[in-house]
Every structure is written in structure tokens, then in C-alpha cells.
Amino acid sequence: MADERSDESLLRAHNSGDPQALAVLLKRYEGWHRGIARKRFGANDELVADAVQEAWLGIYRKAETFRGEAKVSTWMYRIVDNACIDLLRKEMVRPQLHLVSDQIQESIPDEARFEEQSDAQITVFAALYKLPDEQRDAILLTDIEGFSEEEAAKKLGVAAGTIKSRRSRGRAKLAELLADLNPKNMDPTPPGVRHIGGGE
């Protein structure tokens, strides 16, 4: 017989020590979570499975932090989506990253560009992760996943003009972040440690 408890009840039960509640909740949303991952990784079943596994570990670890300020499904969506983004950063499976890197670096002075494409890829993802969620999602959907602004707007439930604005602001911020994250511009000295022979 199917467990008819609500998502919130299952999560509360898990936090209260019910050993089966979280498994029931995750099984209920397994198909949806895999669908979220598949939008990121396409037909790569291995990466889809890895992303869902990491997301479920994240849900388990963060279960006690749920405060009911959003639906459980919304709360889980963000964890799954972030797990996918983390895995994308690690695996660099998107060839479109080269395009994103080229597009963004066009607005950066030559001296701020990276010498190695692999360094640029890593830095693009590091910079993407520093953007506000709404700007990052707009760029991921349009520049990386290839959706039009209209299609991205439908997926996120906002107007196409909103996507255009978020994308524009996100690209401008990315240009700043990429310049700041250029290894040539980074101070290798940990905070609070003075350079040998340097002043205050």
C-alpha cells in the first residue's frame, strides 16, 4: 500500500527518526529528480545517476535544515539542480563551455584572458557558481543548454524580457569575475599572511 503521507510529513518523520520516511519521499520523486539531471546531462546515464546520488546525499545531510519556508519539492529541486551544476563543474562534460568562455572573454581585455582553455573552462564554472541563482539559471539555459530566451522564460515561468535582462546582467558580472579569477591576478598569499620582505 502506498504511503499517503504528505512530503512535509515524511520529512518531519525522517527528522524524528523514522528510518523509512526519507526513502519513501525520494522514491516518490525519483523520476522527477532524474528528469532534472537529464536536462543537464542528456543521454549520459552514468552522470545522471551520479548527480541524483549526490543530490540524495545532500537531501539526507540537509534534511534537518528544512524549515517549511518553501514546498519540500521546491527545496529538493534546488539541491538536485545544484548537485548537477557541481558535477558539471567537475566533469566539464559540456562542449558548449568553449563557446561560453569565448563569448564572455570577448568583453575582457586581452591581458586578462587565460593562456590555457582548460583553465578558462574551470574558471567559467567557478564564476557561474558565484552568480545569483536567477542570473546563473538564465545563462545555463541559454548559453550552455542552447535554449532560446523565450524557451528559457517558459521553463522558469518568467517573461522573455526578464531572461534577457538577467542574462545581460549575468554576463556583465561574469566578465568581472573572470578577470578577478584569472590566476595571473590572484594573490597566492593566504589572507592575513604578509609577503616576505613586504610592507604592511
**pLDDT at residue 189, rounded to an integer:** 35
176 confidence band (pLDDT: 50, 70, 90) = confident
Q: Over 70: is that where the pLDDT of 29 sits? A: yes
**pLDDT at residue 121, rounded to an integer:** 57
**pLDDT at residue 144, rounded to an integer:** 76
109 confidence band (pLDDT: 50, 70, 90) = very low
CA distance 29 to 184: 45
Please, what is the average pLDDT of the chain?
Answer: 76
Cα atoms in the 13 Å half-sphere on the side-chain side of 190: 1
Tally of CB atoms within 10 A around 1: 3
Q: Over 90: is that where the pLDDT of 155 sits? A: no
Q: Over 60: is that where the pLDDT of 194 sits? A: no
Question: Where exactly are the structural domains of the chain?
Answer: 7-91, 96-185
Q: Over 50: is that where the pLDDT of 96 sits? A: no
Which of 156 and 104 is assigned the larger pLDDT?
Answer: 156
* 159: DSSP letter: -
**pLDDT at residue 188, rounded to an integer:** 36
Q: Over 90: is that where the pLDDT of 7 sits? A: yes
Overall fold of domain 7-91: Rna Polymerase Sigma Factor; Chain: A (1.10.1740)
Over residues 114-130, the pLDDT tens digits come to 344 445 555 666 677 67
Q: Over 90: is that where the pLDDT of 139 sits? A: no
Helix (H, G, I), strand (E, B) or coil at 10: helix
Contact 141, 90 (CB under 8 A): no
Q: Over 90: is that where the pLDDT of 160 sits? A: yes
Same fold, 7-91 and 96-185: no
Quick one: CATH architecture of 96-185? Orthogonal Bundle (1.10)
**pLDDT at residue 122, rounded to an integer:** 55
Mean pLDDT, residues 75-85 taken together? 91
**pLDDT at residue 10, rounded to an integer:** 94
